[in-house]
Structure 1
Amino acid sequence: MSVLGTVRARTTALATLASGVVLVALSAAWLATLPGEGSPGDSGSTSTARSLVYLGVPLALLLLALAVWLTLGNAMRRLESMSDTLERIDVIELQHRVNETSDDDEIARLSQAINSMLDRIEAGTLRQRSLIADASHDLQSPLVGLRTELEVGLARPDSIDVESWARRLLAASTDMEMLVLDLHLLAVAEDSKAPLNLEPVDLADIARDEVAKASHATGPDIEVIATANIPLSGDPSMLRRMIRNLLDNAVRHARSNVELSVEAHADMLVLDVVDDGPGVREVDRDRVFERFYRGDSTPASQDRPQGSSGLGLAIVRHVAEQHGGTAVLLPDTGAHFRVQLPIQV
């Protein structure tokens, strides 16, 4: 007998036993009120009533047991079906779902809860598989480049420019380092249990520091439009990385100018980073925050821009959400990213 069959049998036996005890107790109490058999008050009707009780109690218990058995049978069949389905599910076969019925009972709600849980597990597993595939693809290119350069250097050591060769190797290793660091940072940002090192942070100061660093490199002008020196409660290293990623993205796509501002609106700090590049297609405005998003401002291009790990904007959104805020791409001539963070100290 299966586990559910055992539960069904035991439940029926317990229900019948409990009901039998009650019926026997009530019948005994009622019989005690009747004249004893053979006594002067004993009449034919009394004897008939006594006989009905003797026969009716076992019959009532039998009918009760049958009703309990049939009622439990329907419920147990549904649970048995759910159990069979769940036994077929593993990390490879995640598409199975338990049958849902239109009944408004506990088992129907249980089946809905199980399917909802399975949907979340499948979505999480697919994200992990996609992450592994994308990370492997992006690591392959710099690794192949490193191997090619090393093979050429070993085969023709006298014909290479050592300085140029070393710079190419350094660039390839830097790409790999950036990807690995971003993967780690994104894993930390997505871990809801990972604690933030919260302390009062001046977002405007961090923004000015990152602008000063980015301005040393050749590229578009970076202009700080407005800054509000209002502290908020946040993780300084995570917020700094968020602003750096936004600036790196803007510098890569801008034609000549990038604008940054930090302003207070009600109980929110609003960070805007705007570039004068070609912008992003409307259909891709939310996709730019996906991990390893491979589009760029040019619709025909499917390659990730050089110097990008493909994780920068995903990190921006996760850091913003970790701090109770949002990150969006607004419609504009160029790319206009806006991060809103609650002012909490």
Structure 2
Amino acid sequence: MRAWQIAEPGAPLDVMKLVEGADRPVPGEGQLLVKVRAAAVNFPDALMAAGRYQVRPPLPYTPGVELCGEVAEGPRAGERLVGTAELPAGAFAEYALMDAATALPAPERLDDAEAAALHIAYQTAWFALHRRAALAAGETLLVHAAAGGVGSAAVQLGKAAGAFVIAVVGGPEKAATARELGADLVIDRRTEDFVAAVKAATGGRGADVVFDPVGGPAYTGSTKCVAFEGRIVVVGFASGEIPAPPLGHALVKNYTVLGLHWGLYVTRAPALVRHCHEALTALPAVRPLVSERLPLPAAADAVHRVATGATTGRIVIHP
């Protein structure tokens, strides 16, 4: 089969190699061999390639952590599933492995690319907003990187929850995307001070919930415009800068800083992951924003562009 492989850590364009005669993976106990119908590109794909992610698969490995696949053999042959790939047999290949216990049915209303893009980003946003921050109807939600993969999911889920959604983006193209997603107010951080804009939009009160997959200046600014008893959910550090928050500031302003690592729920509370999938499947307004659908040879460039923040929505690879 054809498969991308990484044999040493480094930048995606340098270390991802497309192999034409790779061995088809062999499923072990509790695993499913699936034909990859679509594989979504994620920011962690680049971090993993560089050896800077909390998950470090053995080398060499096939990258790609999120997919929609069709079971290729056995009693479940033909089932269309979504979920995460069992590394080192990742999703940027014609065949991959999935955990039989955690793979979930692909929603019928979504095509392969949309189904592949539903899992990690929307689960992350759902757990952040509902499980961690308890977002309520009528509250104000501030979303950073709102035109990106996980940010676009947070905008849609925030609107579905009845929140007033403020989207922070970088550039006019991404601003247009955030508006299409349904954001109530869009702030271009390149031309506006988002702190001042949030305060102005809320009458000085600030945002009740902040969804932050960026870190760095996005986090620091958020502490200046979070409401009394507000919640800042730290989802990631796409800026490359991990902030060291002064806890005295959280004390005097009465706000909460929450961490969200969705992957822990897969191992520690899998029933919640399945419940979340059922909730997402039942929301007709939730449809992943797939901006590009590319063939397998384009995977390395796609991972590179996602890592540099040059994309909107989700890029999906079709082997």
Please give the TM-score of this superposition, normalised by the length of structure 2. Answer: 0.23
Question: 1 or 2, which has the higher helix percentage?
Answer: 1
Question: 1 or 2, which has the higher strand percentage?
Answer: 2
Please give the TM-score of this superposition, normalised by the length of structure 1. Answer: 0.22
Larger RCO (CA within 8 A; separation ≥ 6): 2
